Amino acid sequence: MNTQTIAGQSVSVNDEGFMTSYDEWNEDLGRELASMIGIEELTDDHWAAINFLRSDFAERSETPTLRRVTKVGGIPTKQLFVLFPKKPAKKMAYVAGLPKPKGCV
Amino acid sequence: MTTTHTTTSTETPVVPDFDDDSDRKLCFVCSKGNLDMAYPALIMANGALSEGIETHIFFTFWGMDMINKKTMGDLRFTALGNAAMHMPPGLGRLSDKHMPQGLAGLPGMTGMATRMLKQQIADLDVPEVPEFLQMLSDMGANLWACKMSVDMMDLDADDLFDEVVDVINVGEFMVLSEGAQIIFV
């Protein structure tokens, strides 16, 4: 396990840089993580996705797949690709301080 | 096994390499219209699009059934001719055995096998073919129909799934697949 300092806070991360402790995350960290992967401003739409990921993970202990974010979270797939370009599933998970989704679909 | 945990602290945060500038490109050729043969390309295409890979799917011959509005929601899975077909689950040790082909050909078997496979796919929360194709299209997949198959099966653009970009010939497919990795199903 590694720790690193992000937004002035010491947090646990894995080898790739994904946070590993659900409770260490907060919105300031979310903003800083987003900026580190090139998303400079988090809009309400970004937060809707991030908040869905966090609440769904809290219930199921599993990062939701893109399909679940669309089907259950109600955020259209096309919009997710605009908000978190190219790799929305992984990027959302990263910003939300969660592991990468494991599901294939 | 002994596991040693070490904790290290770094000044410069490690940031995942999302490799946004990759020019990797994948082309799938879907040539089969069976339910079980429809899914491999769809699932791999979903994985590719999730990784930000430019993805094209070219439907040809029996694969046209995957994008024909009349058939795409009703693909079948048959046990007949499938030497790897097992007996259904829930029959104890018998479930490990292969299904005798004589049994696979009985009336109603294809319907039963199709229902069972659809249920297993749904249990994994994987969508049916039409919904799956819509999702892939929303993710940025380019869907193409084969001109020769369209002509041969006497179809026109109105018969095809709305998200199909165009009907193209093999020459056009060669142009668009330049530099791509091609996966034939």
Contact status, residue B65 vs residue B72, Cβ threshold 8 Å: yes
Q: Which two tokens stand for residue A27?
A: 């919105």
B84 close contact with A: CB closer than 8 A: no
CB atoms within 10 A of CB A1: 12
Which CATH number applies to B23-73+128-185?
A: 3.40.1260.10
pLDDT of A7-47, one tens digit each?
888 899 999 899 999 999 999 999 999 999 999 999 999 99
| Domain boundaries for CATH 3.40.1260.10 within chain B | 23-73+128-185
pLDDT of B5-53, one tens digit each?
555 555 678 888 887 778 899 999 999 999 999 999 999 999 999 999 9
Q: What is the ipTM of this complex?
A: 0.87
Per-residue pLDDT band at B87 (split at 50, 70, 90): confident
**What is the rounded average pLDDT for all residues in chain B?**
90
String of DSSP letters for A22-84: GGG--HHHHHHHHHHTT-----HHHHHHHHHHHHHHHHHSSPPPHHHHHHTT---HHHHHHHS
CB atoms within 10 A of CB A13: 22
Mean pLDDT is lowest, of A44-58, B4-18, B116-130, B159-173, for: B4-18
A60 close contact with B: CB closer than 8 A: no
Query: Any idea which residue has 């690709």 for tokens?
Result: A81
A1 has a pLDDT exceeding 70: no
* Domain boundaries along the sequence of chain A: 2-95
Per-residue pLDDT band at B83 (split at 50, 70, 90): confident
DSSP B62: G
B57 has a pLDDT exceeding 90: yes
Mean pLDDT is lowest, of A19-23, A28-32, B99-103, B117-121, for: B99-103
Inter-chain contact B139–A94, Cβ cutoff 8 Å? Answer: no
Contact status, residue A100 vs residue A92, Cβ threshold 8 Å: no
Q: β-strand B164-168 against B181-184: which pairing, if any?
A: unpaired
Inter-chain contact A1–B52, Cβ cutoff 8 Å? Answer: no
Average pLDDT in the A49-74 region? 95
Contact status, residue A101 vs residue A64, Cβ threshold 8 Å: yes
Contact status, residue A75 vs residue A86, Cβ threshold 8 Å: no
Contacts of A66 in chain B (CB under 8 A): 50, 139
Confidence (pLDDT) at B9: 56
Q: What is the largest CA-CA distance in chain A?
A: 36
Q: β-strand B25-30 against B164-168: which pairing, if any?
A: unpaired
Per-residue pLDDT band at B66 (split at 50, 70, 90): very high
